A = this chain, B = another copy of it.
Amino acid sequence: MSVKSYIETNKGRFLEELFGLMRIPSISALEEHKPDMLACAQRLANLLMASGATGARITPTAGNPIVYAERLISAEAPTVLVYGHYDVMPAEPLELWNTDPFEPTIHDGRIWGRGADDDKGQGMTQIKGFETALAEGILGCNVKFLFEGEEEIGSTNLEAYCEANKDLLKADVILVSDTSMVSKEVPSLTTGLRGLAYWEVEVTGPNRDLHSGHFGGAVANPINVMCQLLASLVDSNGRITIPGFYDDVEEVSPEEREMIARIPFDEAKYKAAIGVDALFGEKGYSTLERNSCRPSFDICGIWGGYTGEGSKTVLPSKAYAKVSTRLVPHQDHGKISRLFEKHMRRVAPPYVKVKVTPSHGGQGYVCPIDMPAYKAAEEAMRIAFGQRPLAVRRGGSIPIIAAFERILGIKSVLMGFGLEQNAIHSPNESCELDYFFKGIEAVAEFYHLYSPKP
């Protein structure tokens, strides 16, 4: 039998197995679902065993349990560590769902229900792809499965688990199906994620709110100063002015820029969708480069003075802002944080006090597209989706991916089958039936291709 025909033959069962997982409301954010978390972990472990994995174990954590299983075929074969998560987002607002979020249904050629994509659907493509490769006798690598139940609440206990199980988790690559493709017409692999540094800035002027009539013009206003300080951090070319900020920025290679330029992108549609007449970003880079391979500086929140109805003539004592930078690979968020604090200390004028409090940060991630595992994923997707997937960097951050690299020293290949229309985290989450099966096919092909060099 071929991969395709094995999947065709077992379609019904694959769906029933997915539905069995989806019926369990494993909502990690809500304490009342604790029993569902355990039930879901148990069912997942059973599924892994039934699919051909061995040594399944459910490890309790301070939060939700972590599920591990493996299939080791040979010491010579490379090892893949599959990462996924069995927890889902809350379904609220329930009134916007057309069907019960935890009673999966199929209509219009799609699977509907919470977790249809994120990450029960995508996780199942891994398990069923593995089963398919195994059943077809084409499994070329050792496989380890690692599923957590806290991804939607920050993977709180996963890092400690990795630290404590470095040997168990030894692998050549991590394979993750939890991201999206550019579009239905444009299959893609996610090859980069941005890092993050985030601070709270507090500017203090006078020791109390002053009357703007009696003091205005003679005493510096901390909101005026906050605006000046923050405005000075980005120049008119959209470049961040913090000295040393770009020192470690990995310049986008001509090859990658050429690849990015090939991503279908309709700027007019993009602008219309978010309701702006024009875009602004770093000079010399395209929009898709700016929001994926270049750093950014955003004020995420600002407040100070009188913000109620009407007008109050106050020269306030304090102004606050929450500011963040998205970082690109090789920029260390700790170093950037120090540069920012140093810069703010240097530019703070003598008539105010400026306090910078680092909030959180994470490293960026980049997947080298010449890794054997990447090449295997690329070819596997070409087979399943009919065209070579683009390598695409994403502007967001998935902190656990950088943590894997830091703790385990392993790179991840982000082979996700999601699409924007799947509405993850929203009401009426869904996944195209056909893409679920194509995902399984791509994964099976990956397990075939990712094998010892002849």
Contact = CB atoms under 8 A, between A and B. Distances in A.
A279 interface: yes
Contacts of A277: 350-351
Interface string A293-327: 01111111111111100111111100111101010
Interface stretch (A56-64, A128-136, A210-218): A210-218
Nearest to A360: B311
Contacts of A302: 223, 226-227, 302-305, 307, 319
B313 A300 contact: yes
A426 interface: no
A316 B301 CA distance: 8
Contacts of A297: 216, 224
Contact of A217 (B213, B296, B303): B296
Contact of A311 (B208, B322, B395): B322
Contacts of A20: none
Nearest to A204: B275
Interface stretch (A119-127, A230-238, A369-377, A406-414): A230-238
7 contacts: A210-B274, A214-B291, A217-B238, A217-B290, A219-B280, A278-B349, A302-B302
Contacts of A324: 212, 216, 311, 313
A221 interface: yes
Given A227-B227, A278-B351, A280-B349, A315 B287 contact: no
Nearest to A216: B296
B220 A231 contact: no
Interface residues of A, number: 80
Interface string A395-434: 1110000000000000000000000000000000000000
Interface in A225-249: 226-228, 230-232, 234, 238
Interface of A: 194, 196, 198, 200, 205-208, 210-221, 223-224, 226-228, 230-232, 234, 238, 274-282, 287-288, 290-291, 294-307, 310-316, 319-322, 324, 326, 349-352, 359-360, 394-397
B220 A280 contact: yes
A289 to B, nearest CB: 9
